[in-house]
Chain A
Amino acid sequence: MRTAKPEDAVPTARKTRRPKSAQAGGHMHGGPIAYIILAVFTIVSLFPLVWTAIAASRDNQRLAQNPPPFVFGSNLFHNLDVAWNDANLGKAFVNTTIVAGTSAATIVFLSTIAGFAFAKLRFRGRGALMLIVIGTMMVPPQLSIIPLYMMVAKLEWTDQLQAVILPSLVSAFGVFFMRQYLIQALPDEIIEAARVDGASSWRVVWHVVFPAARPAMAVLGMLMFVQTWNDFLWPFLVLSQTGNPTVQVAVAGLGRGYTPDQSLIMAGALLGTLPLLAVFAIFGKQIVGGIMQGAVKG
């Protein structure tokens, strides 16, 4: 079956008159050029991350030389230690875990029940409401920051975590994602059977929907965790960089402080990124599957 020539691998390849072939699309094998292109993109994707670690393991003088360092130095743990203390990263990690955990768990829960209603229940206004949900995906959340900021200032929530958590409790993407999943993963017959047994809607959710949706809930939870973990603009506005920061705010503070020590900045960036990279290394396959799952329209 290895009939694909290199030029077939590239979408922009010159127009080639090839003999008829019944195997196309997802059934074709990739040629060497496909692998070369993928290798290049893999290197480009990973290099800045690897180099963050290299730069974090050097000292500031070595970073200001040509050629730039390509191998690890011996300063890594020293730099990590200083960055950790300078940027208040311990507190930042606790804060970010609370923020991302609360948001992700709430989004998953609310998205599952709403997604279930949109996928499987009939009610007046369902189509219109679903359109509104999709429409809210088009409204940029950042455009609301000024009144949110005024609200937070008035409530004296500045520098407090609820100011970051509350606006991030809903996700239209989550509702859409769970709806897509439940349409195909939850057969109507099971719901009907539960109904015949006399289960209330809430019981159906608890005993039928949640178990059926568990894989999608896990994926959505991870996606939302990554998203809130990396959120920058809003936490940057309401949290101070040294008082009560999230990891991103603290890391940004390292770059904007008076210490021009680049290796320390890189150590902070590395610390801020490592937990998520670990999650990706372990659950990467599921996360990839989840993004692709959410992308297909049903």
Chain B
Amino acid sequence: MATRHTTAAPPVKEGGAAPGRPPAAPTEAEQRRRNRLSRRWQRDMRWSPYAFVSPFFLLFLAFGLFPLIYTGWASLHQVEMTAPTDMTWVGMRNYTRIFDDDFFWNAARNTLTIGIISTVPQLLMAMGLAHILNYKLRASTFYRVAMLAPYATSIAAASLVFVLLFGRDYGMINWALHFVGIDAVDWQNDKWPSQIAVSSIVIWRWTGYNALIYLAAMQAIPQDLYESAALDGASRWRQFLHVTLPSLRPTILFTVVVSTIGASQVFGEPLLFDANKGASGGAEHQFQTLGLYLYEQGWVNQHLGRASAIAWTMFLILIVVGIVNYVISRRLRASS
């Protein structure tokens, strides 16, 4: 499979290959040749690392960093979808427009609540699952693969299935709730039920994946830490609190950051969960996220400048979240 990539190779100079002949008395020509090879060799040693990492950075510059900065530039202009190259400078007006829009704040609140409802239970359950999977178990690989199956399912397929499962009249979940004596819940139209339903799609897809990440980190904890804790008389629960959790701190922070980024972008689930097939996130905008609001402003209302302002606002929020995370992790490290 690897041979197919030859043409995509970066322009690395071939030919540092020095012959392995024993050094007999070199002629002058031979000496020149050796010097040349040695210079080539040095050039190779010096520059090839950059040749190896540069494709990543070039592509990232072109398709990651440049568009990100350009989004900031576009957010200061009026740009319509119909003529994306006509840009009129409007300064901060896009920002004031969206901050004046109640739907923006509604979407921001929804993103926050859906983010919390989906991320917190997801990571807690993943932690518990990882702890269980860390025991000696029969058929442990089977559970791991089964738990990862939702990860292989696309947002599109998963959302469509959950729409049916959460149906008000004939959905499986209301049918099951009826047996425990709970009346039919309108999962699509009531605010909290619809947010819970959207979150459940996220939880379903990502819990197993996060459990595996925690499990990997747990297995890297040295066994003697547990042994000495046990010798000191620590119960299993105390071992979990005082050995497992502290050792997992970097991994936990990593998953929190990644999940936060994921939660800020939730888009496909609420888009496809909407019975009215719109971008409004339900008739009352009850589960419209920022991602969906961005799509509505940019692609439905065709205001690309305003959509850019939303994108940059999201980015700034994430930077703040990142800084808060960093400060907390520093504090935690300092206190331990």
Interface residues, chain A, CB within 8 Å of chain B? 4, 8-18, 20-30, 34-35, 37-38, 41-42, 44-46, 48-49, 51-52, 55, 63-68, 105-106, 109-111, 113-114, 116-118, 121-123, 126, 129, 132-133, 136-151, 153-154, 166-167, 169-170, 172, 175, 197-203, 205, 210, 214, 217, 226, 229-230, 232-233, 236-237, 247-249, 251-252, 254-256, 262, 265-266, 268-270, 272-273, 276-277, 279-281, 284-285, 287-288, 291-293, 295-297
Closest to B4 in A: A105
- Can you list 30 A-B pairs with a CB-CB distance of less than 8 A? A17-B235, A22-B230, A22-B231, A29-B135, A38-B133, A38-B143, A42-B143, A42-B146, A44-B204, A48-B165, A68-B172, A109-B5, A114-B53, A121-B52, A143-B71, A146-B311, A148-B67, A201-B49, A203-B17, A226-B152, A230-B152, A254-B160, A255-B159, A256-B277, A269-B161, A272-B154, A273-B152, A280-B152, A288-B145, A288-B212
CB atoms of B127 and A11 under 8 A apart: yes
The CA-CA distance from A24 to B304 in the complex, in Å, is 57
The number of chain B residues touching the other chain, given as a range, is 35 or more
Kindly list chain A residues whose C-beta atoms are within 8 Å of the C-beta of B315: 140, 143
Q: Within 8 Å CB of A10, what residues of B?
A: 128, 132
> Are B163 and A255 within 8 A (Cβ)?
yes
Residues 231-265 of chain B, each 1 if its beta carbon lies under 8 Å from chain A, else 0:
10101111110011000001100000110010011
* Residue from the list A21, A106, A142 in contact with B291, Cβ < 8 A: A142
Q: 1/0 contact trace for B1-24 toward A, CB 8 Å?
A: 110110011101111111110000
What are the 3 A-B residue pairs with the smallest beta carbon separation, nearest first?
A144-B67, A284-B145, A201-B48
Alpha-carbon distance between A142 and B15 when the two chains are bound, in angstroms: 42
Closest beta carbon of chain B to A232's beta carbon, Å: 4
Q: Which of B135, B164, B257 contacts A262 (CB 8 A)?
A: B164
- How long is the Cα–Cα vector from A67 to B46 in the complex, in angstroms? 70
Measured between beta carbons, the chain A residues less than 8 angstroms from B236 are 8, 13, 16, 18, 24
A-side contacts of B131, CB under 8 Å: 11
Q: Determine whether B169 belongs to the interface, using a CB cutoff of 8 Å to chain A.
A: yes
B144 at the interface (CB under 8 A from A): yes
8 A Cβ contacts from B157-200 to A: 157-165, 169-172, 175
* Cβ–Cβ contact A150 & B221, under 8 A: no
In whole angstroms, how far apart are the Cα atoms of A276 and B158 in the complex?
A: 13
Q: Which of B25-33, B58-66, B109-117, B328-336 contacts A (4 or more CB under 8 A)?
A: B58-66
Task: Name the A residues within 8 Å of B237 (CB-CB).
Answer: 11, 13-16
**Out of B132, B141, B155, B268, which one reaches A285, CB within 8 Å?**
B141
Among B16, B17, B51, B153, find the residue whose CB has the most chain A CB atoms closer than 10 A. B153
Nearest chain A CB to B78's CB is how many angstroms away?
13
B153 and A26 form a contact (CB under 8 A): no
CB pair A280 B50 closer than 8 Å: no
Chain A CB within 8 A of B156 CB:
yes
Instruction: Give A280's nearest chain B residue, CB to CB.
Output: B152
